[in-house]
Amino acid sequence: MSARTLTAWLDAVLAGSGWTAATMRDAAARPDGSPTTAALADGFAAAARARAVDSHPRGAR
Amino acid sequence: MSGVLFDAALRVSAADTGGPVPRLLHAPVRHRPVAVAVTARRAGASVKVRVVAADGTVHEGVGAAGLAAIATAAGGPGDALATGPTAVLADRVSLPLLARLAGQHTDPARESAAVLAGSAVAGWWSERADHPGSGAVCELLPVTRQRWVLGVPPGEDTAAMWRRALGVGGGARSALRWHRAVTAGEVLSGLSVTAADDDWLLERHRESVEAGRSWQVPESLGLAAQRLRSRCDAADVYAAALLEDPLWRARGVHTGHVLTGEATVGVLSNQGRIVVVADRLDTRLRVGSEVIGWPGPPIRERPGERFSGVVTATAVEGGALVVHIGSLGRTGYRPAASETVTVIAAPPSASTIRSARMMLARLYRRRFSWLSQGLTPEPVRRDVPLDVLIAAAEDDETNSDGREQD
């Protein structure tokens, strides 16, 4: 399992949107009003919020 | 599709940090007071069962002895049926094997108390496993994937990767540690209905065993109906419970389950109506949908103040979705002008579900109810109201596809 596998999957998911795994962060940073960029922006925002709120599960009880 | 893109961003974040990223801030399953880790494997013509108790003690046996091991690991036949331990499962093959084994050892005349208790508990696990959010069974991998993501494509996050990510290690008790990790924290409160159903069915099994009957047969029509009702309610209850979680609501904006926009009030507020204007057009809310809403964006914690109403109209105006919500209460919170609101479908009411179940039970107990008789009611013909006739005549202009006929 490698970063290459994730990149290939992201490229497949983003196919046709005009964005790729390499450019998806730019898409999220500057949403153009499309459902694609909105979903990516909200996903990254949720991840940031989740990391801030949720303690790391490692070693839970 | 947008839900997948939302998840893709979470997966990229997980890859960046090298650890799991939450999809939910709440635990998506309830944990019961006692949990046991169970595995079942074929052993010749029978099944070998291995159970790890909460204290790490391993109990195992083949066939009926395997069922007895379940009861022993849960503290004995009485405790097993009284508490109903959670079955912690690290694979998908164990439960079908346990269910088959349990069904072979239900005869009170032939089996010991421990075997009967283990059989009844395994039968309960098998039934409740079909109910999402149930605390009776916890399949570790699917539940973990519901709560967090790793920085890999969907489905490629193996159990070994999760064990490393959660730091649960190996050994006999690792499944129980994993279970504690995935159920840690606040549980989605909407799952209380499912938990009550877990207890209800366990109680039926316990009653059967204590009365010297098989927990499988005979089953009354009323019990069968209650079980079916529980099954029907579980999916709706779970879907609504997930929307209690702010992260899931943020995702729900992109699947159409959550509407967020700007509230317009004014003269309409005197009529118990508001209008919400949203940028996204892909809401699943339709005219007639009962909804609840509150101020703030979906990802913020849900405040105590909220409104409830019914969608009365939807339209697209100037590229924005305009949703009219009526039947708002005369008192309580109402959105102010230009306030951002979040609106979702009203969750199933626990009290309504309870009263519907009580009504169902009453009808099945009543001697002359058509439900308890198992008879289809005779059709009764009466005059058709004029407005129904007119509505039917209007429908004649469209075919079954909703298109106008030639």
Q: pLDDT digit string (tens) for B110-140?
A: 999 999 999 999 999 999 999 999 999 999 9
Helix or strand or coil: residue B358? helix
Tokens of B296: 């703030």
pLDDT tens-digit map of B223-238 = 888 999 999 999 999 9
The ipTM, to two decimals, is: 0.91
* Cα separations in angstroms, B118 against B78, B101, B198: 10, 10, 16
Which of A5, A41, A57 shows the shortest C-beta gap to B184? A57
State the residue for tokens 């010297």. Answer: B212
How many Cβ pairs closer than 8 A exist between chain A and B? 127
Count of beta carbons in the 10 Å neighbourhood of residue B189: 11
The pTM for the full model equals 0.86
Contact with chain A for residue B169, Cβ under 8 A: no
* Cα separations in angstroms, B3 against A37, B209, B325, B344: 12, 46, 26, 16
Interface list for B 278-307 with A (CB within 8 A): 279-280, 282, 299
Let me know how long chain B is.
406
For B19-26, what is the mean pLDDT? 95
Which of B2, B3, B22 shows the shortest C-beta gap to A50? B22
* A48/B2 Cβ within 8 A: no
Q: How far apart are CA B399 and CA B350, in angstroms?
A: 39
Residue B113 CA from chain centroid, whole number? 32
pLDDT tens-digit map of B61-113 = 999 999 999 999 999 999 999 999 999 999 999 999 999 999 999 999 999 99
State the residue for tokens 């279970």. Answer: B179
For residue B238, give how far its alpha carbon lies from the nearest alpha carbon of chain A (Å). 21
Q: How far apart are CA A58 and CA B50, in angstroms?
A: 26
- Chain A's closest residue to B21, CA to CA, is A47
Give the max Cα distance, chain B.
Answer: 76
For residue A12, give how far its alpha carbon lies from the nearest alpha carbon of chain B (Å). 11
Contact with chain A for residue B166, Cβ under 8 A: yes
- Chain B's closest residue to A50, CA to CA, is B22
Q: How far apart are CA B401 and CA B190, in angstroms?
A: 37
Question: Nearest to residue B265, comparing CAs of B335, B189, B358, B361?
Answer: B335
- Chain A's closest residue to B279, CA to CA, is A33
* A54/B22 Cβ within 8 A: yes
For B150-155, what is the mean pLDDT? 94
CA dihedral for B370, B372, B375, B376, sign (positive or negative): positive
Say which DSSP state B308 is in. E
Determine which of A54, A55, A61 to mutate to test the interface with B (most B C-beta atoms within 10 Å).
A54
For B152-159, what is the mean pLDDT? 94
